[in-house]
Structures are given as structure tokens and as C-alpha cells.
Amino acid sequence: MDGRSQGQRGNGRVTLTEVAKRAGVSRSAVSFVLNGRTDQRLSADTSNRVRRAAEELGYSPNTTAKTLRTGSSGTVALVSDFIGTTSFANSMVRGVLESLHDADALLYTVDTQGESSLESRLLLSLINRDVDGIIYGSMFTRTVAVPALLRNAPFVLLNCVSDDSDTTAVIPDEVAAGATAATALLSAGHHDHIWFVGVFPPGATGGAAWHNWSPLALAERLQGIDTALSAAGTKLAGRAMIDDDWDVANGRSSVAKLLASGATPSALICVNDAVGVGAYQALQAAGLRVPDDMSVISFDGSPLTTAVLPTLTSVTLPHEALGRLAAQLLLSGTTVPRIHRVPMPLTLGHSISTPPATR
């Protein structure tokens, strides 16, 4: 009678029965409420209790959506802001393709450039063409508003989260990544002279080219760093500010300013690789050697890390793994509301050594 539980009990999908149990009503009452049927009257109280229970349990409201298992078109869409049009982030597409390839499904990738009218037209166009499911992604990790049209198909959020409680999302574990960076420096003997490079001036969010969307990465990386340093009985010696975007030139000028300020860092945690490369340039200009005079670690794990000597140690964005997992979740039909955090591995370069003072 209902397309909602769809035999998903085996893989953790919340069933109508569970919602009914929690709400203290009959299973059919739940079905009536959640299917929006009006041919049987239920009290407002009952309706409210059902809706609350469904929400608390994370019951998926994608009620009309066929799961991919039963989908017939064999086509999935990746709808994102800029994943397909920016370098590096598009390795997420590769991850998605890998999972779809295993399932013999085809992928259409569309970029909205962050324009909501274009997004609506693209979603309509895709839904009208019977895509079996949609991966809704973002070029960098941020909070998105889920477009209503998206709810016409099963969907998974890729590299973004939503404030809605009913979505399945896959993002990098940025908090753990921050701890990884701090721990790498602590392990090498750094303690009280670790600086972070890449916070924004008050009011700025970075990403002028990206609608000024605020990256989740900054706050979460800092949180992880603070936690790890605190556990080791220390804290950041300071946070160097960057004017707007996280690019090489801004990294260079930020670190040049830091060095000129009289600060005595033993190590720099740079918010991304481009800023890390800029740090190298500022250190070189100041006659300081990496890692002998200063250790450097960054985030992203992009090709920039091997463009410099010594190669830059970086906590790596797991783009392919994110894409793979998002596609797997979509294909499996297990779009249980949950945020999946994918580990960010440490890619070792040669930019970390013991601090000068302890030698």
C-alpha cells in the first residue's frame, strides 16, 4: 500500500511502522497523514504527532520518488554550482562516475553557476527527462537551501549540507582534518609557536567569485586545530588574516606581513594549498628555509603541493571518495537523513621538521 518503506528495512531506512509506534497512532493513520490524503479525517493533534515523529526519526519525505533500484531510465544527474566548471573540485565527478559505472548507470552533469533560475530550469529539464536520481553538489563545502524541485527525485547532497533535517549529505570531515594538521605539527615537536594563516577580516566570508558563500571548511578546520592543540595543553600562537580569497598572492602577502610583525612562528597551518604556496614564497623572500627554519602544512592536497620544493604536506580533500559515496548512497536507495563525513587523509610532503629551537 505504500511506496515509502519500499523494502528498505534491511538497510536502515525508517519505516511507517516505526513512525506509527513513536507517534502512538496506527500505521494507516501515518500513511494518511504523510501521503497527504484527505479522505479520512484525523485530528490536528494526531497529524502533528505523526509529523513530529516522522521528523524525529528522520523519515524520508521523498515519498513519490522511485528508488534507483526500480528506476528505469538508468540515468543520474549531478546538479551543482560549479563542480563541472572549476578545476580540482571536478574530481568529484570522477568519483561519481566510478560508482555509476559499477551500476551501469549514466551520468549527466550540469552546472548552475549558482543561479537559481537556471537551477530551476535545469532541474525541470532533468526531471522531465526521467532521471532516476539527482546528486546535488557544491564546489566547496557549504550549507545550501534544498530547492523544492529537487524533491521530485531521490537525491543526495554532495559536499554540502542543508538546514533541512531530512536530507542525506556527504561532506569531508573537516574537523578531523584540522586535528590531523595540528597533530602532524605537534608530533614533530612544535607546540607554542604554531600560527594559522587564512582567517578573513570581520564581515568577510571569502569566495567573492562564488557569491560570497561561506565555506564550512574554515570554522571546522579551526575547530579541529583548537581541539587538538588544547588536548596537548597549548593553543594557536595566532591567526594571520587574508584579505579576501585563498590564493597564492594573498598567502604571500599575509605571511610577509606576519614575518614583518615580529611574530616568531615555528610552523604555519595554511588554510589551503594556494595559501601554502604563497607562504613558501614569502618565506623564501625572507631568507627562511622550509622546513629547516619553518614548517608548513596546508589543506586540500591539490597538484600545487608538488609544484614547490620541498613538496608541501597537505590534509587532502577526498573528492573522489565523496563522489563515490554520494553515488553509492543514491544507487542503494538508502537516502536516510544523515551527514556522512569522509576522512581527509594526510598527504606527506617534506615541509615539516622539528622546530629550530629544539635542535
Residues at the interface with a second copy (CB under 8 A): 74-75, 84-88, 90-91, 93-94, 97, 101, 106-111, 113, 118, 121-122, 125, 129, 248-249, 274, 277, 281, 284, 303-304, 306-309
| Of 121 and 239, CB closest to a second copy | 121
Helix axes 27-34, 16-23, angle to 10 degrees: 110
Q: Least Å distance between CB 283 and a second copy? A: 11
| C-alpha cell at position 1 | 500500500
| Of 38 and 117, CB closest to a second copy | 117
| Of 50 and 259, CB closest to a second copy | 259
3-state secondary structure of 214: coil
Cell 595559501 belongs to 275
DSSP 293-355: T-EEEEEE--GGGGTSSSPPEEEEP-HHHHHHHHHHHHHHT---SEEEEE---EE--S-----
| Of 78 and 188, CB closest to a second copy | 78
Q: Least Å distance between CB 18 and a second copy? A: 38
Element (H, E) at 29: helix 27-34
Distances (CA, A) of 62 to 6, 104, 187, 316: 12, 24, 47, 33
Among 58, 63, 55, 54, CA closest to 19: 54
DSSP 238-286: EEEE-SSS--HHHHHHHHHHHHHTT---SEEEESSHHHHHHHHHHHHHT
| Of 93 and 170, CB closest to a second copy | 93
Q: Least Å distance between CB 246 and a second copy? A: 13
Q: Least Å distance between CB 257 and a second copy? A: 18
| C-alpha cell at position 170 | 556527504
Q: Least Å distance between CB 216 and a second copy? A: 22
Q: Least Å distance between CB 314 and a second copy? A: 13
| Of 122 and 331, CB closest to a second copy | 122
| Residue 165 half-sphere exposure toward CB, CA atoms < 13 A | 9
Q: Least Å distance between CB 102 and a second copy? A: 13
| Of 100 and 342, CB closest to a second copy | 100
Distances (CA, A) of 104 to 68, 93, 97: 12, 16, 10
